[in-house]
Structure 1
Amino acid sequence: MGTASNKSPGNLSAIDIKVGRVLYTTLDMTALLTALAPLHASYLFRWSGALGPMWGPLLTHCVLSFPVVLLSAFAVCVAVGRISHDLYMEKRQLAIAVGAFGIISMAVWLGYQYGSTHRSCQGMLVSAGYSGLSALVIKLLVGYQEDLDAAAAFKAHQKELKDGNAETDQHVQTHKRQSHKLRFIPTIACICLAITALYTDRTCDTGVVAYDSSIKDLTNYKMLFREESTTGWVTVVDERDRGLRFMRSGHSLIGGHWLRTSESIFGIFYYADAVRMIKHRKSNPVSKQKRMHELQPQGWSQKLSRQAFIGDGTERALIIGLGVGITARSFYEQNVRVDVVEIDQAVYDAAVQYFGLPRKLNSVNIMDGRLFIDEAHTGTYDYVVHDVFTGGSVPASLFSQSAIMQLKRILKPDGVLAMNYVGVPNDKRTLSHVARTIGTAFPFMRCFAETTKDLDAMANIMFFASAKHVLFDITSDVLRAMGKTSLRSRVLATMLDNELNISEFIHNSTIQPITDDWNPLSDWQVDTAIQHWQAMREILPTAYWLNY
């Protein structure tokens, strides 16, 4: 008898009402915390920057993310516990449950579709709306059940109580209905907070925003382009004092140029031009000038000219990782057919609009670089320029042995790979494994650092690899033809002096190549990522990172 009474309709209804109250209260708290997140973030980011790249994000997530996760997990546990308590329900209850599930599922699907293109502020507000909508549905169901129970109770008592007592009971029911309306205050508050954040918080504005004139550190910067995309916030900014323009993606500066000369602010990008200056290749300007002079001794001067750098239109280059397009533009101007692979559409758009990237490249592929090289045709390219560093690390999958083998496959037999790796030159562990991995596919390789003045500091390191000898023909005539005052000529003039000795690593069988199954690069690059974070905070003021 006790068991039967415990599962009577009245007891189950009371349990459902209590569970419903717990659920919608929890979901209301989740919705309010999520809707407040963009407003709280602007304050937390200041502490995050002061605490550094390790403790700062932990503080931010402890305040913004962890409470929401715990509340959501608690709501799931309560719901699962109620379902497991009684697996049988009436048809009407089943229909209501299915309908509620359908509404919530539709909200999740719409939120995903919208949030997939709006990844930070709008995504959080969509999540807040989803939690608030779920709470609202549960409130309506609980209220409906309470009204049914109240009506049944009133009819039962009406037969037993006098009219005066019944009237008093009616006043009690009226008071309860009025108190039920207070349940919708959190829903209204969530909507108001979301609208406030959407129109007042800078991170919720996906376009160009004016700098805050009250912040002195921002008056030196002019925002030209700002868009949230696959790799984070992509911005293009002019720095007035130094006369330069740069592109930022996430927490990295992925390139820039001087406004007066349109030359790259990072000299390492000109190392890639050296792939066309290798001896015995038809693209080598010295060899080309000699051949022209032999064919037409009267019509061609032995003095090297800029014309010697122009290709015949048959060479093809693949560039994985566009940046601001320095290498792509240089190859295009040398009449090389350029295919670009870039994972972020916003980076490509900004490079075209603000850095002079030609629109008439051979092809532009907005996709993952590993997927592209796996599907590319064999023996297609004369050159592959591989530069995918961002955010303090490189995508490890593009540095595995199988990825390098695929790069060799899509190169022509005498093709050249130029691979930029960002790390510490004296980090023999990482450097040896990267060099060994490349060496499993290419018998000949050379490696050059951006600078050798401080081998313990983070620097760009360019690997050149080929199936044939990599001997550069960077002569004084070549540099003179480029123009002595150009940054390209100055960088290439010192490149050979910055060579790193990696001969002990290339064919050393005791060094394990990096594979898809064994790829420790992500773990090994933690220190590099921290150094990179600190370097970015020194290059640009904290106010820039907080406001843009």
Structure 2
Amino acid sequence: MAPKNRAKGGDSKKKSQDKSQEKTQATNVSIGGATWQPKKPIVEILGNAFAILALAALGSPISQMNLSPVYGSIPAAIHHQKGIMLAAMIAYIAVAQLRSQNMPINAKNYISPMAYYVPVLQSLLFKYSTVLGPERGPFVTELLTYFPVLLLSLMGASEVLSDLNLTQYGTRVAEATPAIASYFAYSAMVQGANSFLPQIMGTSDFFTRSGLQLLVATISGVLFRSTMMALAVPAVLHTMFQNPHHYATRTTQIVNHTLAESQYSLLARADSVTGYISVLENHKDGFRLLRCDHSILGGEWTITPERKKTGQTVKETIYAVFTMLEAVRLIKTPIFVPDDERDALFIGLGIGTAPTAFITHGINTTIVEIDPVVHDYATKYFSLPTNHTKVIADATTWVDSQAKAAPESYDYIIHDVFTGGAEPIALFTYEFLQGLNTLLKEDGAIAINYAGDIDLPPPRIVLNTIFAVFPNCRIYRDTLPDDPETFINMIVFCTKTLAPLEFRLATNDDYLDSMARRAYLPPDDGLEIHLPNIGGGERKYTEVDMLKRGQESEVAEYHDEAAIKHWVVMRKVMPAAVWENW
């Protein structure tokens, strides 16, 4: 019996060795006659590295989105790429140092717990936004939140890729290849995340800023089987029950308790394709605002007993520019056509001040707005009438399509787009404006609202482009000429003919019982400015300077400076606590 048992044991041992050899052979790869022997199956190695880097890449735009309501999307991005490169350099050095001392890296174990604390730390750091400012604030915040997560992720990916076992190609190749591959793979994934995430924002509770932060941290913990997840419990509880930026009943109550100290209240909020959208009410001065990130899309004075004494009988816009846009109706035309036989196109909505007036006048009105939440809030909280044609679409593609399908369709076009401290460049190119020109009837008129810093080149480039498309224009500002502020709104009125552009006198019907309309319709001659008087910094412009598709970078390079100035302006409109507790 004994020999038989020994024989069985020998067979078992032999089978085990055969399986081990088969597994080793499965991971071996022959390259140029040499055998490359990864420590694990290549698919497993690359799959694990991909998961780590993909989650880190998702964290990049999520972190930027979280910063945008406090700093604006442009200031938030100024030093973001520098921080990414810094994290990559430190990760490479740290991995090399640990390997030289034969110490375990084990970075994957810390990714998830650290990721859970990102929303906690960000909510605490936002309170110092005024002290830190729009340039340093985003970088300091990410230096203590997202960049450590990225550092651990890059180290973890390098650790996983080290199982590729590239030592036979030299020490430098074995050390540098995982780090370089991780960085470039991460960068490619970030570009994909930047394109993908805005399309799903706000579509479910998971696809909100705080929801995505929790989701990424949770997936990391599950995939990497972190043994330190217990440390994340306080962070999860804080985010769900104490963080004002998390959308829940209790956290909304916390927001309103904080805002009450500044005599504000939050009426609604949501994440959407263009950013964080909210409706705020000021109870001290009596006005309501529509906010997008660190910018105000519009607002109106409510009817209070005090205002009734001044003669106010209807809600009034807090910004004169929105009533000035309505002066496009007052431009004289050769033939009189009643309002109810006219058609108007609005590019951009805001709270809907001018569109509401046009609809009230009986004009057949089409509104193109990219953000469905903006349209929803304008209807629910700012009384935008529903009897209009709603188009939720990207205006660039819609205008290109409509210009071919239905030229000369509109008597009036109102172009009013702006958010985040800078103009959407694609909507001010020669090609886009030419599309609007095609859609405008021969005797029609267009009003274009442009906000920018007249000390910088972009306003002059944009205005040159407008004048290149429309042969007859006049420019007005919404503030007095002696106002020292250089970041201003300009309204450009244009026609397609060379006949003198003149406004008829407004009537009581044009005013719609509004005090603001009485003051700004038609625009005062004292607010008119002329193109040669808009300098644009040190650069000297000629008549050929204009913005065309593919040349958007010529304007974008000045966005950082303009957005920082806009941030300062916005901080004068509302207290810091209102911006920080979004």
| Distance 1:465-1:115 versus aligned 2 partners, 3 A rule | closer
**Is residue 342–residue 364 contact of structure 2 (8 Å, CA) maintained in 1?**
yes
SS at match of 1:203: coil
- SS of structure 1 residue aligned to 2:130: helix
| 1:249 maps onto 2:279 in alignment | no
Rounded to whole Å, the distance in 2 between the matches of 1:340 and 1:526 is: 30
Single out whichever of 495-504 and 433-442 deviates more from structure 2. Answer: 495-504
From 518, 536, 539, give the equivalent of 2:570.
536
Give the equivalent residue in structure 1 for 2:309: none
1:381 paired residue number? 410
Does residue 275 (structure 1) correspond to residue 328 (structure 2)? The answer is: yes
CA distance in 2, matches of 1:116, 1:217: 26
Residue 70 of structure 1 is matched in structure 2 by: 151
Q: How many residue pairs were aligned?
A: 443
DSSP 3-state at the match of 1:228: strand
1:230 and 2:256 aligned: no
Structure 1 residues 480 and 503, CA gap change in structure 2 (3 angstroms):
farther
Q: Does 1:369 align with 2:450?
A: no
Spell out, residue by residue over 1:483-530, the C-alpha distance to the aligned partner (whole angstroms, 9 max, x if none): 78621120125533211112689xx86442111222222222332211
Q: How does 1:330-479 map to 2 (within 5 A)?
A: 330-361=357-388, 363-376=389-402, 377-425=406-454, 427=455, 429-451=457-479, 452-454=481-483, 456-468=485-497, 469=499, 471-475=501-505, 478=507
Query: Which one-letter code corresponds to 1:366 in the other structure?
Result: I
Given candidates 537, 548, 551, the residue that maps to 1:515 is 548
How far apart, in 1, do the equivalents of 2:393 and 2:160 lie? 41
Question: How much has 1:188 moved relative to structure 2?
Answer: 4.4
Q: Does 1:201 align with 2:236?
A: no
Q: Give the CA deviation at 1:471.
A: 2.0
| Residue of 355, 363, 371 corresponding to 1:328 | 355
Q: Note the alpha carbon deviations across 1:247-275, whole angstroms, 9 max, x for none.
A: 11111111111111212111111111111
**Is 1:187 paired with 2:229?**
yes
Distance 1:400 1:484, change over 3 A: same
For 1:132 and 1:472, the matched residues in 2 are separated by: 66
The CA deviation at 1:456 is: 4.5
- RMSD, matched Cα: 3.5
The offset of 1:420, in angstroms, is 0.7
Partner of 1:28: 109
| Code of the aligned partner of 2:530 | N
Q: Secondary structure at the residue paired with 1:209?
A: helix
SS of 2:333's equivalent in the other structure is coil
* Residues 389 and 186 (structure 1), Cα distance of their counterparts in 2 relative to 1, 3 Å cut: same
Unaligned runs of 5+ in 1: 1-6, 88-107, 137-183, 289-309
Deviation at 1:210, TM superposition (A): 2.6
Asked if structure 1 preserves the Cα contact closer than 8 Å seen for 2:346 and 2:355, the reply is yes
Alpha-carbon separation, structure 2, partners of 1:356 and 1:216: 24
Q: Deviations over 1:387-432 (max 9, x none)?
A: 111111111111111111111111112222211111234x373332
Q: Distance in 2 between matches of 1:547 and 1:226?
A: 12
Q: CA deviation at 1:222?
A: 2.2
Counterpart Cα distance in 2 of 1:327 and 1:14: 66
Go from structure 1 to structure 2 and tell me whether the alpha carbon gap of 1:522 and 1:239 turns closer, same or farther (over 3 Å shift): same
CA distance in 2, matches of 1:374, 1:384: 15
Query: Which residue of structure 1 lines up, in the alignment, with residue 261 of structure 2?
Result: 218
Contact 1:464 1:470 in 2 (8 A): no
Deviation track 1:443-495 (CA, whole Å, cap 9, x = no partner) reads: 111111112222652111011122113522342x6369637862112012553
1:126 and 2:152 correspond = no
Q: RCO higher in 1 or 2 (8 Å CA, sep ≥ 6)?
A: 2
Relative to structure 1, the CA distance from residue 212 to residue 236 in structure 2 (aligned partners, 3 Å threshold; closer, same or farther) is closer
User: In the TM superposition, what are the counterparts of 1:11-50 in structure 2 within 5 Å?
Assistant: 25-50=106-131
In structure 2, the CA distance between the partners of 1:14 and 1:441, relative to structure 1 (3 Å rule), is closer
- Hey, what's the Cα distance between the residues in 2 that align with 1:455 and 1:401? 31
Which among 155, 161, 168 is matched to residue 80 of structure 1?
161
Write the distance in 1 (CA, Å) between the matches of 2:323 and 2:200: 40
How far apart are residue 194 of structure 1 and its match? 3.1
Q: Contact (CA 8 Å) 1:385, 1:419: kept in 2 or not?
A: yes
- Measured after TM superposition, the shift of residue 197 of structure 1 is 1.7
Seq. identity, %? 26
Question: Is residue 211–residue 218 contact of structure 1 (8 Å, CA) maintained in 2?
Answer: no
Q: Which residue of 1 aligns with 2:524?
A: 495
From the superposition, tell whether residues 83 and 282 of structure 1 become closer, same or farther in structure 2 (CA, over 3 Å): farther
* 1:51 maps to 2:78: no
Give TM-score, length-normalised by structure 1.
0.73
- What SS does the aligned partner of 1:318 have? strand
Unaligned residue ranges in structure 2 (runs of 5+): 1-19, 28-36, 49-102, 169-191, 304-313, 535-540
Deviation at 1:314, TM superposition (A): 2.6
* Cα deviation code 1:147-166 (max 9, x no counterpart): xxxxxxxxxxxxxxxxxxxx
Structure-2 separation of matches of 1:130 and 1:486: 56
Q: Which amino acid in the other structure matches residue 515 of structure 1? A: K
Q: Structure 1 pair 390/192, CA: closer, same or farther in 2 (3 Å)?
A: same
